[in-house]
Amino acid sequence: MPQSTHQMNRRDFVRTASAGLALAPFISADGLAQIVSPRRSRVALVRTSDRKRGVSQALRLLDVRPVDGKRVVLKPNFNSADDTPASTHNDTLAQIVTELRERGARSVTLGESSGPPQTHGVMERKGIFDLASDMRFDVVDFEQNSDRDWVSFPAAGTHWPDGFALPRLVVDSEYMVTTCCLKTHGAGGVFTMSLKLAVGLTPKPIRRTMHSSPDMRRMIAELSTGYKPDLIVLDGIVAFTDGGPSRGELKTANVMIAGDDRVAVDAVGLAMLKSLGANQAIMGRKIFEQEQMARAVELRLGVTGPEGIEIVTADDESRAVADGLRKILAAG
């Protein structure tokens, strides 16, 4: 695994702590750094089939704070170049960049590492380099990172036998945005939404360790202790309710979901999958008993249960969907 050229220094600690990430000396009983959980998390939900409208309205509902002068890092879901929900739709991506520009972002840098396909090829097939040129944002392929471009995190208190690493660009980001899809994961993850986006931030060699481990879903949550997004956009216009991450049973959901709490966003996403009638791995287990979610709660990465989630909407159609999801969340 790539090693950082230095351990996280005081400046790194102050920056991440101020963003909500509690590193040593704020250590849990199991030795892992923890994030202080908010008392209540707002999750915006928009019923729509129009991705651009959905992103714009969701961000207005959240009353997203200004990004004035900040360098934004944007992490999409480019696991492969297959059609959404296998990968982030370019319309969703473009609208997020537009919204960030309108809120005063100094710059936007998209960073990703695909897997197993080569990242550069995935981005080429999706037309990302042309989109970046047209919309004036930068692109970083984490597969091309040098050793000094990684920050190493220790194994202590995790299920990662040798610890893990995340890109320095992400760990040091002034403003972090992630965008995920609504889907199940047939290779052991059970579901892949905002928490699992972190896997695309790791060096490819250590992903093999995770995928062969019985603790895979706990390891996914543990990666999320290394950074904290300021904004999460979940594109749920279409969903995989079985299979995934690249191919699966496709259903129409027509929702756009957004928030700043990975646990809350994924809980609402799981409720949406349940409402669509997903596979047994989703339907047969309560939302906060899913291993990704349970570990994330232990690590205080977000809300601890459905009572901490406030779903906000702006119209009757969205409100009707949200009412149904609230019942599913309450029942588990």
The pLDDT tens digits of the residues spanning 100-138 come to 999 999 999 999 999 889 999 999 999 999 999 999 999
Q: How confident is the model at residue 30 (pLDDT cuts 50, 70, 90)?
A: low
Closest to 276 in 3D by CA, of 234, 238, 315, 332? 238
Residue 48 lies in a domain: yes
SS (H, E, C) 78-134: CCCCCCCCCCCCHHHHHHHHHHHHHCCCCEEEEEECCCCCCHHHHHHHHCHHHHHHH
212 or 37, greater pLDDT: 212
pLDDT at 18 over 70: no
Q: What percentage of the chain has pLDDT greater than the value 90?
A: 84
In the structure encoding, which two tokens stand for residue 34, read together? 């923890």
pLDDT of residue 65: 79
Of the listed ranges 65-69, 201-205, 293-297, the least confidently predicted one is 65-69
- 4 within some domain: no
Which CATH number is 201's domain given? Answer: 3.40.50.11440
d(CA 159, CA 241): 28
Domain, as residue range, for 33: 10-331
Q: Say if 2 falls within a structural domain.
A: no
| Confidence grade of residue 302 (pLDDT, cut at 50, 70, 90) | very high
Within a domain: residue 227? yes
Lookup: tokens for 305: 């249960």
52 pLDDT higher than 80: yes
In a domain, 42, yes or no: yes
Contact between 23 and 275 under an 8 Å Cβ cutoff? The reply is no
Which amino acid, residue 112? E
Question: CB under 8 Å to 181, separation ≥6 — which residues?
Answer: 77, 84, 85, 86, 87, 88, 192, 193, 234, 235, 236, 239, 240
Lowest mean pLDDT among 4-18, 27-41, 288-302: 4-18
**pLDDT tens column, 251-260:** 999 999 999 9
Residue 263 pLDDT > 60, yes or no? yes
In a domain, 3, yes or no: no
CA distances from 89 to 47, 76, 98, 178, 181 (A): 17, 9, 14, 13, 9
Place of tokens 């997203």: 64
Q: How far is CA 305 from the centre of its chain?
A: 18
Other CB atoms within a 10 A radius of the CB of residue 212 amount to 9
Average pLDDT, the chain: 90
* Number of domains forming the structure of the chain: 1
- pLDDT of 64 reads 85
Is 1 part of a structural domain of the chain? Answer: no
- Is there a domain that residue 87 lies in? yes
Pairing of strands 175-185, 231-243: parallel
